[in-house]
Every structure is written in structure tokens, then in C-alpha cells.
Structure 1
Amino acid sequence: MNVDMKVKAGGDLTIGSITFAPRNARPPVEELGLVRKVTKVSFEDAAVEKNGALNIGQAVAALRAGLRVARAGWNGKGMYLELQVPDAHSKMSLPYVFMFTACKNRVPWLCSQSDLLAQDWEVVS
């Protein structure tokens, strides 16, 4: 079986009708549809229970609306989560959640089982 293979000047490899880009190449963030222009951000107050506590779904909705969230049960003072949406100058190509720690550092954050099931999420300033 003969397969037509070509390497272009930019490093793209074409095999048949499929083109592969080098590992370090990525399309601009705009092409991925990740950048959106937001003129007005709102969060539905109706989603908040009487005591102001949120579940994880409501907390994620608040993050998407550009708000910061935290768990009432967290020990560190001033800790919160925020959603980072990459722009054209970012090294990341997808949105991600980061935590602002009690030591005033920003670190990537992953949800634990207890965070996932908690009912004590709240919007913070």
C-alpha cells in the first residue's frame, strides 16, 4: 500500500488527506471559540437557597458568570475559586478554575468528592 506523505515548511505532516500539526502548535484561542465578549454578567438570585448556600452546580454557574466562590467550610481565610478564560496571550488554551489560597498564591484547582457534594458554597467578593 502506498501512502502519500508530505512535510510542509511549518512542520505540518500530511498523510493522505489528514494533516498533523507539531505538538507545540495550537490554533489561536479565538478559533477554538473560547473567547467571548461579555457585556453584562448576571447570576440568578433565585438559584440561591434561603441561607445563601449553593450546591456545586450553582457555584459553577456563578463562576461562569464571572463571580468568585468559596466553601464556608474551608479553614483558610480569604480562599476562593475563580474561572480563568484564556485570551490570545495565554499559555493555556482552555478555561480552568484556580484557587486563591490563604497564602495569597494562585494554584490550579480540582474538585474533591466532599467539594462536589457540599451544600455550603457561597459567592464571595
Structure 2
Amino acid sequence: MKKYIGTKMLQATPMSIGDYNKYRGWTIPSNENPNDEGYLVEYEDGYQSWSPKEVFEKAYKECNGMVFGIAVELLKNGFKVARAGWNGKGMFIYYVPGARYEACTDIGASIADEENKVAYEPYLAIKNVKGTVSTWVPSINDCLAEDWNIVD
């Protein structure tokens, strides 16, 4: 078998397997301990399931206090993220996919294609305190931080 790793957004709440079976209107199988701890899990498409506590807690982390690698995956999937210390300042970063933009300088025009457009690679942008946007490159402190959060 091949190994896989996934990144997905979901909602969950602690719930025993017995309570999950009651929630679903199912009879608790005789070979299950109704007190086994776990989580009721709901995925973005509304699908619900139950996960044992140990399995769930090994696979999922709350969407606050994330490491940068998880934040990058979220950025690529269209989320805005920020460091905990940025709270209240209105700052966040987001992913900008590669695209072609109209040349707006002489240098840009010198490298533009036949439609006067310049090809840009994907990059990260930051909406800063002043309300303006610029490109953003993380510092080593940003990369090693474990305080990344999703911005609504």
C-alpha cells in the first residue's frame, strides 16, 4: 500500500461511541463499549462520522496554534492566515496564484508578451496595518512559529 497524508477542514465535538450510535438512531453493537471516547466529525460537505479519540487526536489539530506548514497548505486552499501576535491589527497573509498582468512600467513593458502582459509566479501577499497589500516572505521565526490561525 502507498502512504498518504491529507489536509482537510472539518468540525468535531467529543462524543462517545454509544452517544454517536444514539445520535444516528442505531442500536449499539454488542461488541462495542458504549463508553469508548471519540469525536463526532462533520466534513465540509456535511458527511458525518465517528472517530476514536486516539485516532482523531493524532490526525487533527485545532485551527489555532498551527505550525507554518499547515498554514501554507491552508493558504494554497484559499484561506487567509495570521500569526497570533497580529490579532487586532487587521493583518493577514493570503496566496496569490500565478497570472498575467498588464505591464505598468517601462521595465515591465520590456519583458511583456505580445499582449503587453507580464507573467507572474504564485506568491504570498500580506494585507498590512496600513490597509495596503505587498508581497510577503516569511522570516525563520515565522516558519518555526506554532501560533498560526485561520482568519475569517
State if a TM-score over 0.5 links the two structures: yes
Which residue number corresponds to residue 9 of structure 2?
44
Distance 1:108 1:51, change over 3 A: closer
Q: Which residue of the partner structure matches residue 83 of structure 1?
A: 95
The one-letter amino acid paired with 1:44 is M
Query: Structure 2 CA distance, aligned partners of 1:106 and 1:48?
Result: 32
Partner of 1:95: 122
Partner of residue 70 from structure 1, selected from 82, 92, 106: 82
**Structure 2 contact 94–125 (Cα < 8 Å) conserved:** yes
- Cα distance in 2, alignment partners of residues 69 and 121 from structure 1: 7
Mapping 1:99-118, distance limit 5 Å: 99-118=126-145
Deviation at 1:73? 1.6
* Structure with the higher helix share, 1 or 2: 2
Q: Which runs of 5+ in 1 are unaligned?
A: 1-41
Give the one of 63, 73, 78 matched to 1:61: 73
State the TM-score, normalizing by the size of structure 1: 0.57
Q: Is the 8 A contact 2:97 2:121 kept in 1?
A: yes
| 2-structure distance, mates of 1:79, 1:43 | 24
RMSD: 2.4
Equivalent-residue separation in structure 1 for 2:63 and 2:124 (angstroms):
25
Structure with higher strand content: 2
Q: Unmatched 5+ residue regions in structure 2?
A: 1-6, 11-55, 103-117
Aligned residues: 84
Report the CA distance between 1:87 and its aligned residue.
Answer: 2.8
**Partner SS state of residue 149, structure 2:** strand
Matched to 2:81, the amino acid is V
For the Cα contact (< 8 Å) 1:59–1:69, is it kept in 2? Answer: yes
Deviates more, 1:49-58 or 1:99-108: 49-58
Flag the structure with larger Rg: 2
CA–CA distance in 2 between the matches of 1:48 and 1:55?
Answer: 12
